[in-house]
Structure 1
Amino acid sequence: MLWLSSVSTANSNIYVRCSQLNFTLMTPYESNVNSLFTSLVDSASINNFNKFEISPQDNVVYGLFQCRGDLSSLSCKDCVAGAIGELKKICPVSTCGEIQLEGCYVKYDNMSFFGDQEKNEVCRRCGPSISYNSDVLNRIDGALAYLVGGTGQYYREGDFGSIEGVAQCVQDLSLSDCQDCLSEACGRLRTECETSNWGEMYLGKCYIRYVDRDDQNIGNNDNSSSKKRRRGGNKNDILKWIAFIIAAALTTGGEHDLSMPIMEIMTLAGPTMGS
């Protein structure tokens, strides 16, 4: 399935976070950060996720990357390279930092964060209200329920009529922790973007997003060059909504922040689904 965001928009910036604690230039830690960044880019040419610990001279740095599940290896590598380039510009001497682009996610720290759930809210974006249009809201609920209660994979996508959704967890989580994270993200998304025609919720280690492709209000914000897939509602859709809403209801929804105060830089553009 080709997701809503085209490869050309994979490098669009969602958010950047930089620690306020800086490292000193020309030190072993700087060298290790640079070695980590090189390893991340090299690995992205053959994997869509990997994590590294770089620890020569006792100045350990931990880092990982993850690409959106539908990106090719070439697009993944380009996205990770772009993300690291942005980190170098925005957080040039930060001891730790992270960046979420449309197509990929990169994080590094001087303390291990591998396997931590990190269900703190990092970024949320909500579109304009559609008021209480029960038909559209039911389709949104059905799409989100499918994503939360569905495939048991780290990357999930699906659509219900005009509603398209995507969700993803960072793969250092267990699948059960991924499920918990997505359940939490979904609950917060429906609370914060209750009647919005599109919405996105990013927690520390997962995100969930949806958009109503039939709503004309998002037309000017849509940067996607991919095909708009529209499927009319039918009996099968209704049955899927019911099944996955029940599944989501049966799913239960540990936080770890960056190790120090952070600066946050967020981009508040419209929806172009993606990582």
Structure 2
Amino acid sequence: MASTSSSFELFFHLLPLLPLLLLSTMKTTTMAAFEDFTSFVYVGCSQNRYTLGSPYQLNVDSLLTTLVNAATFSSYHDSTSAAASATAPAYGLFQCRADLPVPDCAACVRSALDRLSSLCPSSAGAGVQLKGCFLRYANDSFLGKPDTGLVYKKCGAATASAEVAGMRDAALSALAGGGGMGEYRVGAAGRVQALAQCVGDQDGKQCGDCVASAVEQVKDGCGAADAGDVYLGKCYVSYWSTGAYALASPGHYHGDHVSGRTIAIVLAITIAVVVGIIFLSVMRRSGK
């Protein structure tokens, strides 16, 4: 009886951990369902090119190595490289989606670097946006400077639904609430969800101004579309309505959606594992 009692004590000690186990498993399952974070969005390459073997190339190579290494422990990093030549510095940064786990962030930045190498060889400046991350370098100091110029726009299918348009406007309004909201913002209204993120070199006011501009541009540019993405120089805004993008479709990475059926399955598996541990513990102690 003492062994059985101890096992039941173990069970009640494990019960508080069930929500933590469930959330951990849910996160893993959910993130695995959206493996398109390296899907291509856009690239920009400067017309000017550097000379192979020049001090500037050495600075660029050093800079990109620093950024890729920093992505293994951070979701944002900016740097300046001038070791090879102080007169030819290279400036750069990377940024990942705030909800992207660090290992996926590192993988995304590596993929972005591969894209730059193949699409912008020897470019004096270049930037590539993947769904989960952004990587940019240049020979002029763009760090800390605001930029609300339109870089890329994508709109979904047109819809005549005034209801969806109203939900979209409400969701987008939640994003443009001022600089105090932080660099990563989410909004929702009915069937429409929205998100925005500023590049990490922007202060609160710069971020707020950029998001407000992006919200207006996605409204004007996408009209009555059921989904839209607008990327400006230092921020982006995205909105989508239920069904506008399939879960596995390229171009969107939404890591916070879990269906009720998925929760039920994960909960059942988690409870089964805990009960199995308790049963084995009881059998082992009874054998003794």
Q: Which range, TM-score by smaller chain?
A: 0.7 to 0.9
2:177 corresponds in structure 1 to: 149
Are 2:99 and 2:255, in contact at CA under 8 Å, matched by a contact in 1?
Answer: no
Pick one of 4, 17, 39 that aligns with 1:12.
39
1:246 corresponds in structure 2 to: none
Distance in 1 of aligned mates of 2:192 and 2:121: 39
The answer to which structure, 1 or 2, has the higher relative contact order (CA under 8 A, 6+ apart) is 1
User: CA 1:207–1:31 in 2, change beyond 3 Å: closer, same or farther?
Assistant: same
2:8 corresponds in structure 1 to: none
Per the alignment, in what secondary structure is the counterpart of residue 175 of structure 2? helix
Per the alignment, in what secondary structure is the counterpart of residue 139 of structure 1? helix
Are 1:170 and 1:205, in contact at CA under 8 Å, matched by a contact in 2?
Answer: yes
Pick one of 233, 236, 240 that aligns with 1:204.
233
Distance in 1 of aligned mates of 2:76 and 2:68: 11
Are 2:229 and 2:237, in contact at CA under 8 Å, matched by a contact in 1?
Answer: yes
Are 1:6 and 1:225, in contact at CA under 8 Å, matched by a contact in 2?
Answer: no
CA RMSD, Structure 1 to Structure 2 (Å):
2.4
Are 1:147 and 1:156, in contact at CA under 8 Å, matched by a contact in 2?
Answer: yes
Question: Bigger shift: 157-166 or 79-88?
Answer: 157-166
Instruction: Look up the equivalent residue of 2:35 and give its one-letter code.
Output: S
User: CA 1:134–1:10 in 2, change beyond 3 Å: closer, same or farther?
Assistant: same
Distance in 1 of aligned mates of 2:205 and 2:33: 30
Distance in 2 of aligned mates of 1:16 and 1:78: 18
Distance in 2 of aligned mates of 1:51 and 1:18: 19
1:28 corresponds in structure 2 to: 55
Distance in 1 of aligned mates of 2:255 and 2:235: 24
2:21 corresponds in structure 1 to: none
Identity %: 34
Instruction: Look up the equivalent residue of 1:13 and give its one-letter code.
Output: F
Per the alignment, in what secondary structure is the counterpart of residue 152 of structure 2? strand
- Between Structure 1 and Structure 2, whose CA radius of gyration is higher? 2
Q: Number of residues paired by the alignment?
A: 228
Aligned-residue offset at 1:230: 8.4
- Structure 1 residue 116 corresponds to structure 2 residue 142: no
Are 1:7 and 1:75, in contact at CA under 8 Å, matched by a contact in 2?
Answer: no
- Give 5+ residue unaligned stretches, structure 1: 232-275
Are 2:45 and 2:126, in contact at CA under 8 Å, matched by a contact in 1?
Answer: yes
User: CA 1:6–1:52 in 2, change beyond 3 Å: closer, same or farther?
Assistant: farther
Partner deviation per Cα, 1:107-153 (whole Å, 9 max, x = no partner): 1000100111111100001111101x121111101110111117611
Aligned-residue offset at 1:78: 0.7
- Give 5+ residue unaligned stretches, structure 2: 1-25, 261-288
Are 2:152 and 2:230, in contact at CA under 8 Å, matched by a contact in 1?
Answer: yes
2:106 corresponds in structure 1 to: 77
Distance in 2 of aligned mates of 1:162 and 1:4: 21
User: CA 1:90–1:227 in 2, change beyond 3 Å: closer, same or farther?
Assistant: same
Question: Bigger shift: 74-83 or 4-13?
Answer: 4-13
What TM-score, normalized to structure 2? 0.74
Normalized per residue, the structure richer in helix is 2
Per the alignment, in what secondary structure is the counterpart of residue 176 of structure 2? helix
Matches within 5 A, 1:194-273: 194-215=223-244, 218-219=245-246, 222-223=249-250, 228=257
Instruction: Look up the equivalent residue of 2:203 and give its one-letter code.
Output: S
